[in-house]
Structure 1
Amino acid sequence: MNKKQKKVLYRILLSLGFMIGIIIVTSYVSLNLYVEVILYLIPYVIIGYDILKKAIKGILKRQVFDENFLMAVATVGAMCLGEFREGVAVMLFYQIGELFQSVAVGKSRRNIAALMDIRPDYANMVIDGEIQKVDPDDVEIGSEIIVNPGEKVPIDGIIVEGNTTFNTSALTGESVPRDAHCGDEVISGFINMTGEIKVKTTKEFGESTVSKILDLVENSSMKKSRSENFITKFARYYTPAVCYSALALAIIPPIVLMLMGQDASWGDWIIRALTFLVISCPCALVISIPLSFFGGIGCASTKGILVKGSNYLEALASAKYIVFDKTGTLTKGVFEVTHIDPVGNYDSQQLLYYAAHVEMASSHPISLSLQKAYGQTLNRDVVHNIEEIAGHGIRGTVQGHEVYAGNEKLMHKIGIEINGHHPEGTVVYMAIDHQYAGCIVISDVVKATSQVAIKSLKDQGIKETIMLTGDSNQVAQKVAKEIGIDRVYSELLPADKVEKVEDILQNKGEKEKVAFVGDGINDAPVLSRVDIGIAMGALGSDAAIEAADIVLMDDDPAKISLAMKISLKTLRIVKENIVFALAVKFICLFLGAIGIANMWLAIFADVGVMVIAVINATRALKIR
């Protein structure tokens, strides 16, 4: 809880303590009416002063009819009728409901400004031959900076010295690490994985890729759709209606009776009007509705689904278009050997043996995946003369055999002809003793639950599933076909993804919602723009998690379908409470208006209905 929520909790406990104490005292001692009024006013003011203050401000601003005004009028009316306990209890229950709502929404949702944490903290700038850490904002175009292994590239530029491998998946969505050499362009946000490089900057930090992504997030969040709080909508019509009805009930019947020459009985009609107001207090709604959502959110959290507010849980039930990122969302985002194609006298295990040993000195992700696939202890004594051929691959001697492992350019360089067609992915071609020995395909593997997730979503009524990715079209189409995605957009930059989402939002139905599922920094602008942003939490970037409305803590796309199920059932419980509460309210209001309902019925219509609705709301905690 934050400080504001703790303050409300302390007020609730203090007011409740006062009220219990007063009830105990008055059960043994008969107090003077004025003393009793003063005693009950203490807990009433403690728990309700902020509501009364908001109601007064609303009146002064000519925004009279909201839930604060209704609560103020209803509780003051109860106090005027002499039902002091009722007046305090109604305000107390209202504040408890508001606290539940506040905790549910504020527990995991932070300001979008927290995304600024992804910006680089410093740049290693070369000044007069020495390296100094400076603020990226202070680096001018044409300056030289050093980027060490493990550091992010702070500013866009061109490599002027050194070779390395970049992890670009968080920024571009590409699943394969990118080799970079002297003269290559680099983008801020890339993570240097292997070698120290010197970069000559081509942009100021404010114009760099990371800064633009942050701007996209901030601008997109301003257009973020939000579900209005139901109580505010309801009170906009309900509050003025019951207030005017109560006023009419207090004035019109006595006047009519006077004109007819009968006893006006002003006191009786005013009591009826005040009883009418007490009955009209929407406690069952203001408590049970947020509690239902809180229950749904709590249920989701126990299953590894964090929902950052009841409005997102509500919106998820209306989702008809689900847009996915590929890498790390539908695929694992890690490299595995998926295909081995040996040629000649070599079998798959032998090809892996030579590949793993010749690559054993490299920390490149592809080299590590080959070593992992081999699965046995590597013998360093059998490997000699390892040499890296920049931009091509590696050569070395393994057990006296000359081994080359690398890309297609390496094979052309040494005059080896490649045979056969291979599956999509990163292909490591092998030549042993100047003879083509086959190839090993390394690719990002589709998650086991991705296909099930897409099928479940379609069974739940999702109109279309769409994939946006920075990967090549060939790889994207293969993944989409494998898991059943309806539409694919590939080779996209972060700004392109936002543009595609804008098109989807413009073409959807008025009441239909669009959800996006992603995990990278490049996904943050899209997560902020759509109606519901869903992030992969276990391996996803901090930026995506901060920008998202729902976070899947175990990165399982199948949990999206479960989240929708929880959303739909929670909304059903909410609708049940609304229908039940309003039906009882209107019946009791009618009985109160004709003088049949007394204060006990008013209390039932308020507190009794509230208790029943709350019990029903707790069912949201048990959704499976």
Structure 2
Amino acid sequence: MASNIKIASGPVNAKLSKKDSIKKVKKEFILEGLGCANCAAKIEQKINELDGVNFANVNFLTKTLILETNEVNKLEELIGAVTNIVTNIESHVKVVEKVTEKILKKEILLEGLCCGNCAAKIERESNNIDGVKSALVDFISTKLIIEMEDPAKENAIIDNVKRIVKRIEPDVNVVEIDGIDRRAMSKNEKVEEDNDKLEIIRLAIGAIIFGAATIFKFSNYIELLLYLISYILIGGEVVLRALKNIAKGQVFDENFLMTIATIGAFAIGEYPEGVAVMLFYQIGEMFQDMAVNRSRKSITSLMDIRPDFANLKINNDFKKVDPEEVKVGDIILVKPGEKVPLDGEIIEGNSMVDTAALTGESVPREVGVGDSILSGVINKNGLLTIKVEKEFGDSTVAKILDLVQNASGKKAPTENFITKFARYYTPAVVFAALALAVIPPIVIEGATFSQWIYRALAFLVVSCPCALVVSIPLGFFGGIGGASKNGILVKGGNYLEALNNVETVVFDKTGTLTKGIFKVTEIRPENNISKDELIACAAYAENYSNHPIATSILRAYDKEIITDKITGYEEISGHGVKVVLDGKEVFAGNYKLMDKENISYNKVDEIGTVVHIAIEKKYAGYIVISDEVKEDSLKAIKALKEIGIKKTVMLTGDNKTVGSKIAKELGLDEVHAELLPDQKVEELELLFKEKSPRGKIVFVGDGINDAPVLARADIGIAMGGVGSDAAIEAADVVIMTDEPSKIASAIKIAKKTRTIVMQNIVFALGIKLIILALVAVGMGTMWEAVFGDVGVALLAVLNAMRAMKVDNI
């Protein structure tokens, strides 16, 4: 773009006359010690001026230099020249060639994983495998995600994982996700359902025998036999798992704790209590597993937008195929009521489409021939013929599904804390139980070992941390699922938690607070030049730019550009452009460009972006381009103030007049105008110095031009809208509807989620501590202890599911 609001990562290569060679080399370097954004821009400019350099870009945030050249034979000489430029501008900076590290990422499905504590153990031990860079268990999707440093060790690593999983959770099935098809998964689900039914039957028979032994009068021998039979039926698998785990060195797990507690009850003659506690535990575990599985299904069903099939045109017929089989350029048919399987362009038909699954909007949209349509939306009433523009892996629905399904992999600090806490909590309570069993009978007169052993056994029961380890990730993922239902995609629990501490929200202007739809609203020629001549000069000057300002000028010109007329092109960063048009020098840009070239011009106080034009250094007039503020922007700023955001700021490359007007209209606290991308980063750095230590800064941009600032902020929110691949890639949170007011909604969802998570932490730990205290003084029994384990876990899981319900936010 020609004006001062141009946003670009670096100067456009002006060497248009130079023909590309067949072979190009791209190198990447780390600029160690680079701390000056202005120096980074100077380095980039100087390197781009070197003979033989096709393209050079310095990323100040990542401190990287990307260099592209055709001069393969002079590569070492060129690198030497680059190093000299860097050290001349920043003497302490070292230029180090970046070596790309190849990391293999593998996903493994842990079928049947229901124990949060066991999941944490699997993750911890998998991280210790030789060759594993990182291992993370996503308890919500029951996946183990492994990054391997050496692909050659893949088989050995997977074998080690299988051994670890079988040792910690023998009933869990380890499946490599690459080889899974949907039919196999549905069969596994059916097998799990059959196993659940068998477990219910077994527990029911055990409960009936236990009831008979309790209600009816039998001899001591028969009574003991009935209790033993019912105990074996109800808790036999728990005892068996405990023995297997002990043999493998796994001692402090819930199977061991329940086995010791219930067998101990038998040892001191409390037969009914030993069986009843195991029965209550097993029923509680069954309900907890059901609640967790239901929670998982409820959350994933919120984003159940994956199309099952596509009607692919083959010759003159249509055939149902998997969306992954369809290629770019293929023709597909979407009938009423069907999901659109792939992104494409409508070539025949018109209809209303439901975009609620992608955007949370309940009002259907009308589409017709020539319109782009996105995968995941539902065709309501018409018949649509679509030409496919993206393969399924690159489609909107695939990107969103991948984003949401992997969101729980980025754990919030609270989740990480609880995982570490659980690691020490169980052994601490076990040792406390051992002390409770041994010390009081020795030091307290009249105390019996059987009395204190019983209390110690109850201590053991309540020591399992599953209530916390299961409910907290469920709470965060419930919040993420609820946000996605409202058109807000949050990339992880860490970002959802960070939203609780937002103090400052920084906005880009164009496309964020304004619609980003620029129109030429005024053409003012001078010095005997017509309006047509002035707009033509501006259009030719802006021809090589893809910025909205340039696009609006080209749209206003509305004629074919004959590129042969342009024999020279130079972009002057932050000022505008200079071209040679039909042998005449044409300048198009802001007032800074006119000042730089010593061209006398008219100072204009217009609301909008002013592009000044000069021909042969003689002023030719100006063009005004205006943008429109979104209807939702005022509501957004007001909502942010209401929820306690301390400061709202706008950073824009537009001129001060426009920036100040919009800031005043919306009630923003600060506005910084006429900024280049690196200057936006500098302004953000100043805001970081003003915030409190725990406070967070949010930057809201379009996800494309604002990538450096999005990356630097604590939380980057992209107003990219549906289908913007760059927005989905660049930001931590994506607002799918382009509505700024959704930022306040995201913060409210984050606050509600944290409230629920804190409720679960306080509730679970509070109940456990109360029960531990009651048991220690003899006022609590093993019944209360079992409630403190499975009962609390079940209630915590049910409470976590409230995070999904965000309809009133």
State the TM-score, normalizing by the size of structure 1. 0.58
Counterpart of 1:19 (choices 199, 206, 211) is: 199
Choose 455-464 or 292-301, whichever is displaced more.
292-301
**Residue 598 of structure 1: aligned partner:** 781
* Distance change (3 Å), C-alpha of 1:314 and 1:27: same
- The Cα shift of 1:322 comes to 1.8
Deviations 1:76-134 (A, max 9, x none): 545645544556567777778888999999999xxxxxxxxxxxxxxxxxxxxxxxxxx
- Whether contact under 8 Å (2:513, 2:740) holds in the other structure is yes
Alpha-carbon deviation of 1:367?
7.4
Higher helix share: 1
Q: Give the one of 570, 582, 587 matched to 2:770.
A: 587
1:231 pairs with one of 418, 421, 429: 418
Distance change (3 Å), C-alpha of 1:100 and 1:286: farther
Deviation (angstroms), 1:566: 1.5
Aligned to 2:384: none
Greater alpha carbon shift after TM alignment, 90-99 vs 558-567? 90-99
Alpha-carbon distance between aligned partners in 2 of 1:547 and 1:104, rounded to the nearest angstrom: 28
- In structure 1, C-alpha distance between the alignment counterparts of 2:674 and 2:604, rounded to whole Å: 26
Aligned residue pairs, count: 472
Name the CA shift for 1:269/1:318 in 2 (closer, same or farther; >3 Å).
same
2-structure distance, mates of 1:51, 1:421: 81
- The answer to whether 1:577 aligns with 2:760 is yes
Q: Aligned-pair distance for 1:506? A: 4.5
Report the 3-state secondary structure (helix = DSSP H, G, I; strand = E; otherwise coil) of the residue aligned with 1:533. Answer: strand
Measure, in 1, the Cα distance between the counterparts of 2:741 and 2:262: 53
Residues 110 and 172 in structure 2, CA contact (< 8 A), matched pair in contact too: no
Match of 2:462 in 1: 279
The one-letter amino acid of 2:435's match is: A
Bigger drift between 590-599 and 3-12 goes to: 3-12
Provide the C-alpha distance between the structure 1 equivalents of 2:609 and 2:236, rounded to a whole number of angstroms.
Answer: 73
1:617 corresponding residue in structure 2: 800
Q: Is the 8 A contact 1:94 1:283 kept in 2?
A: no
Equivalence for 1:251: 438
Cross-structure match for 1:424: 608
After superposition, give the CA deviation of every residue in 1:426-475 in whole Å (9 maximum; x if it has no partner).
447799xxx99x86521444333223222221221111223344555665
**CA RMSD of superposed structures (Å):** 5.5
2:413 partner SS? coil
* Counterpart code for 1:598: T
Identify if the C-alpha distance between structure 1 residues 519 and 595 changes in structure 2 by more than 3 Å, giving closer, same or farther: same
**Cα 1:477/1:237, change in 2 over 3 Å:** farther
Contact map agreement 1:321 1:515 (CA 8 A) in 2: yes
Q: Pick from 105, 109, 114: which aligns with 1:4?
A: 109
Of residues 710, 717, 732 in structure 2, which corresponds to 1:534?
Answer: 717
The residue number in structure 1 matching 2:500 is: 317
Trace 1:463-482 onto structure 2 (pairs within 5 A).
463-470=646-653, 476-482=659-665
Aligned partners of 2:206 and 2:233 also within 8 Å: no
1:511 lines up with 2:694 in the alignment: yes
Unpaired segments ≥5 residues, structure 2: 1-105, 114-141, 143-170, 174-188, 211-225, 266-273, 303-409, 569-576
Query: 2:247, 2:628 → 1: CA distance?
Result: 59
Q: What are the residue-to-residue correspondences of 1:212-231 with 2, within 5 Å?
A: 227-229=413-415, 230-231=417-418
CA contact (8 A) 1:5 1:102 kept: no
In the TM superposition, residue 560 of structure 1 has moved relative to its aligned partner by: 0.5
* Letter matched to residue 516 of structure 1: F
Structure 1 residues 546, 75: CA separation in 2 closer, same or farther (over 3 Å shift)? farther
The question of whether the paired residues in 2 share the 8 Å contact of 1:11 and 1:46 is answered with no
Aligned AA (1:575): M
CA separation of 1:443 and 1:583: change in aligned 2, threshold 3 A: same
Cα distance in structure 1, aligned partners of 2:751 and 2:656: 35
2:522 matched to which residue of 1?
340
Contact 2:480–2:489 at 8 Å: present in 1 too? yes
More relative contact order, 1 or 2 (CA 8 Å, 6+ apart) = 1
Percent same amino acid among aligned pairs? 44
The DSSP-based 3-state class of the residue aligned with 2:721 is coil
* Structure 1 unaligned regions, length at least 5: 57-68, 109-223, 345-349, 397-403
Q: Is contact 1:515–1:533 with CA below 8 Å preserved after alignment?
A: yes
Aligned position for 1:566: 749
Q: Is the 8 A contact 1:250 1:269 kept in 2?
A: yes
- Structure-2 residue corresponding to 1:449: 632
Q: Is the 8 A contact 2:651 2:680 kept in 1?
A: yes
Q: 1:330 to 1:379 in 2, by over 3 A?
A: closer
Distance 1:563 1:22, change over 3 A: same
1:565–1:379 distance in 2 versus 1, CA, 3 Å: closer
Amino acid at match of 2:607: P
Alignment map for 1:144-543 (pairs within 5 Å): 227-229=413-415, 230-232=417-419, 234-235=421-422, 238-239=425-426, 242-257=429-444, 260=445, 262=446, 264-337=447-520, 339-340=521-522, 369=552, 421-427=605-611, 440-470=623-653, 476-490=659-673, 497-521=680-704, 523-538=706-721, 542=725
Check conservation: 1:332, 1:445, Cα contact below 8 A: yes
Task: State the 1:305 CA deviation.
Answer: 0.7
TM-score, length of structure 2 as denominator length: 0.47
CA separation in 2, counterparts of 1:51 and 1:484?
A: 65
Instruction: Tell me, in whole angstroms, the C-alpha distance in 1 between the residues paired with 2:763 and 2:781.
Output: 21
